[in-house]
């Protein structure tokens, strides 16, 4: 660790199922909101995912996902509370015309979901004070996917928030032919294993800091949820404390993921993304 000015730099090393990962993160030495930890956690997740991708490539496979291949952008994406706050912060920095166009697409998506009878179920998910398991989301997930509703951030089949996209989007990669993703219910696809689910880590962190469940918010509701909970999102912690508590969740998750991947593992249980993919 090096210290200087108003931030501290930490070299964080963790062992993932894909191998050891080391990332450098700069942490503010002052009090910051929970959204500030999101970029550092994403870098850690991406480093682990890159190792997994290299392992798969070395075995003779290749990731099929390319720019413009947006089949997965019709899926229900779960967003942790810290990611929802971070996304709202990002959009608030945009020029008015870009922000208003995005908010209009969000409103259109909610209108379609309401017409299809799905919106109320998504709002129940976002507001639930109970810890919901993956199985509880399967009917909602399938109803959403049946609509083939484009993500509100999808513009001309490209992600308009690519650098700020949720962890769940970053982690969904396949090695099967890209055309199979056009119908995930009928076609068998081969997803790349995810060594470290950052959305889950951030959801666990939010639960630890504020109590309540490890919450996931459906992406079309993320901005309205963040606005409704703005006071909670404005709470702050010392940068180092926030990092340490986030790393506690990383290590907790990895210990269970590594155990779960062992052939003889039985009875291990790790949280998923809250909203399973089709």
Quote the tokens at residue 32: 């910051």
**Structural domain total, the chain:** 1
Threshold 0.85, pTM exceeds: yes
229 assigned to some structural domain: yes
3 state SS of 152: coil
Alpha-carbon distance of 36 to 79, in angstroms, equals 15
Instruction: Give Rg (Cα) of the chain.
Output: 19
266 assigned to some structural domain: no
277 assigned to some structural domain: no
Alpha-carbon distance of 76 to 181, in angstroms, equals 14
270 assigned to some structural domain: no
Which residues share a beta bridge with 26?
9
Which residues share a beta bridge with 82?
none
3 state SS of 17: coil
Conformation bin of residue 185: beta by default, left when phi > 0, alpha when psi is -120 to 50: alpha
Residue-by-residue pLDDT tens, the chain, 278 positions:
344 458 899 999 999 999 999 999 999 989 999 999 999 999 999 999 999 999 888 988 888 888 778 888 999 999 999 999 999 999 999 999 999 999 999 999 999 999 999 999 999 999 988 887 777 788 898 999 999 999 999 998 899 999 999 999 999 888 888 888 888 788 888 888 999 999 999 999 999 998 889 989 999 999 999 999 999 999 999 999 999 999 999 999 999 988 888 764 444 333 444 433 33
Domain around 245: 2-261
272 assigned to some structural domain: no
């Amino acid at each position: 660790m090096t210290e200087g000015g108003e931030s501290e730099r930490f070299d964080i090393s963790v062992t993932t199922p894909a191998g050891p990962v080391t990332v450098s993160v700069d942490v503010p030495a002052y009090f910051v909101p929970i959204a500030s930890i999101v970029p550092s956690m994403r870098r850690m997740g991406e480093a682990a995912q890159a190792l997994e991708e290299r392992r798969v490539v070395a075995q003779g496979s290749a990731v099929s996902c390319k720019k413009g291949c947006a089949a997965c952008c019709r899926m229900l994406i779960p967003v942790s509370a810290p990611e929802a706050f971070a996304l709202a912060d990002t959009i608030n920095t945009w020029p008015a015309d870009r922000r208003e166009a995005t908010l209009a697409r969000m409103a259109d998506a909610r209108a379609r979901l309401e017409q299809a009878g799905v919106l109320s179920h998504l709002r129940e998910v976002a507001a639930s004070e109970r810890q919901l398991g993956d199985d509880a989301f399967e009917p909602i997930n399938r109803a959403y996917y049946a609509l083939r509703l484009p993500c509100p951030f999808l513009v001309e089949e490209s992600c308009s928030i690519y650098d700020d996209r949720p962890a769940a989007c970053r982690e969904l990669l396949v090695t099967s032919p890209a055309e199979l993703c056009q119908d995930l219910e009928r076609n068998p696809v081969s997803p790349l294993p995810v060594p470290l689910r950052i959305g889950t880590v951030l959801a666990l962190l939010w639960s630890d800091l504020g109590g309540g469940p490890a919450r996931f918010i459906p992406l079309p509701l993320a901005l309205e949820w963040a606005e409704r909970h703005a006071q909670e999102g404005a709470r702050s912690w010392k940068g180092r404390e926030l990092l340490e508590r986030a790393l506690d969740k990383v290590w907790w998750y990895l210990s269970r993921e590594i155990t779960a991947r062992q052939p003889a593992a039985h009875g291990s249980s790790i949280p998923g993304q809250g909203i399973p993919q089709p």
